[in-house]
Amino acid sequence: MDNILSGIKPTGQLTLGNYIGAIKNFVKVQNEGETFLFIADLHALTLPIEPNVLHDNSRDIAAYYLAAGLDPKKANIFLQSDVPAHSELAIILQNYLYMGELSRMTQFKDKSAKMKEEAIGLGLFAYPVLMAADIVLYDSKRIPVGEDQVQHVELARDLVKRFNNRYGDVLVMPKAEIAKVGARIMSLSDPTKKMSKSDPKGDIYLKDDLEVIRKKIMSAVTDMVGKVKYDPVNQPGVSNLMTIMSSLSGKSFDEIEKEFDGKGYGDFKRAVADVVCNELAPFKARYEEVIKSGLVDEVLSRGAKRANEIAEKTLKRVQKAVGLYSK
């Protein structure tokens, strides 16, 4: 069975996009191979963040992982910063990725677009280098991510090809896996933009009360067409709500279109809100139980122990390949 790796950066409160595009898939794949799920706290430092916020968000993600049904016996849950090999490997791998390719990364362009050049941190630019290190450390072939992270995984693949061409079969080739439905959940207020934890407009937060979630869905932007139809170009708002409904209920777009044929957007939105709240109500209750249980510390330390074992081996292999060894 192939190893599986993914992560979430603790830059803000998790959104329904993170839940559908990432966490739900993690729960599925944990039975299919040894799974490494890290909380990307080093990546979170690439944009300004308060220390207590970073710390609290990191532990919160671990609690949400557990609440979603991730089993620490199957999935190793850990903080990226608890495994020093991530940083050490990134220092080596940065020599095999180039400025041109890093400057073409969409995430870098989006996040730096409104910043003055003097204020753009090197870490933000070099983000994909650290991410490539994250990916290759666990010899993972399978990388379940939302659509926005595919470009970074592709760059990691280029790096592996380049590195192995030069040094032999040292690194395992990873591959991004995206969900068939729900790989890109859009903002409810601007459905042409991705729902993003660092951009509060149009977000549904997992922390939101169910009533707030209901209100947000009821006031989601739709259109003047007046028909529930999957057409992301002409009806992005309705299509986004259909995606949310489909990925949580398992109904196909065809089934949803038939169910709401001749009905108004009010009925449709109420049904979407029901599906979302039915899914999140037990999840939120489990999250509260996890917080009360005090399990998070133990899970993180057990996960880091196993992650360090594997990561150290890969780091040694890379160091040896490039000539960094004493005997």
List, by residue number, the catalytic residues: 111, 194, 197
Least separation, in Å, of the C-beta of 215 and ligand AQP? 20
- The reply to whether 21 sits near ligand AQP by the rule CB under 6 A is yes
- The reply to whether 240 sits near ligand AQP by the rule CB under 6 A is no
Tell me the residue nearest to ligand AQP as measured from the CB: 21
C-beta closer to ligand AQP: residue 15 or 112: 15
CB count within 10 Å of CB 4 equals 24
List 90, 156, 183, 290, residue binding ligand AQP (CB under 6 A): 183
C-beta closer to ligand AQP: residue 22 or 321: 22
CB count within 10 Å of CB 87 equals 13
Supply angle C-alpha 10, 16, 21, rounded to 5. 80
Per DSSP, the three-state class of 306 is helix
Least separation, in Å, of the C-beta of 54 and ligand AQP? 12
Binding track over 34-73 against ligand AQP, x by CB under 6 A? ------x---------------------------------
Which residues within the stretch 129-158 sit at the binding site for ligand AQP (CB under 6 A)?
145-146, 148-149
- Please state, in angstroms and rounded to a whole number, the distance separating the CA atoms of residues 302 and 292: 19
- Please state, in angstroms and rounded to a whole number, the distance separating the CA atoms of residues 70 and 75: 7
- The reply to whether 196 sits near ligand AQP by the rule CB under 6 A is yes
Q: At 199, give phi and psi (nearest 5°).
A: -130, 95
In terms of C-beta density within 10 A (0-12 exposed, 13-18 middle, 19 or more buried), how is residue 36 classed? buried
Residue with tokens 């595009």: 21
C-beta closer to ligand AQP: residue 12 or 237: 12
* Cα→Cα distances 205→16, 104, 231, 258, 290, Å: 6, 30, 25, 29, 18
- The reply to whether 22 sits near ligand AQP by the rule CB under 6 A is yes
C-beta closer to ligand AQP: residue 163 or 202: 202
Q: Which residues of this chain interact with ligand AQP, rule CB under 6 A?
A: 8-9, 11-12, 15, 17-18, 20-22, 40, 145-146, 148-149, 183-185, 194-198
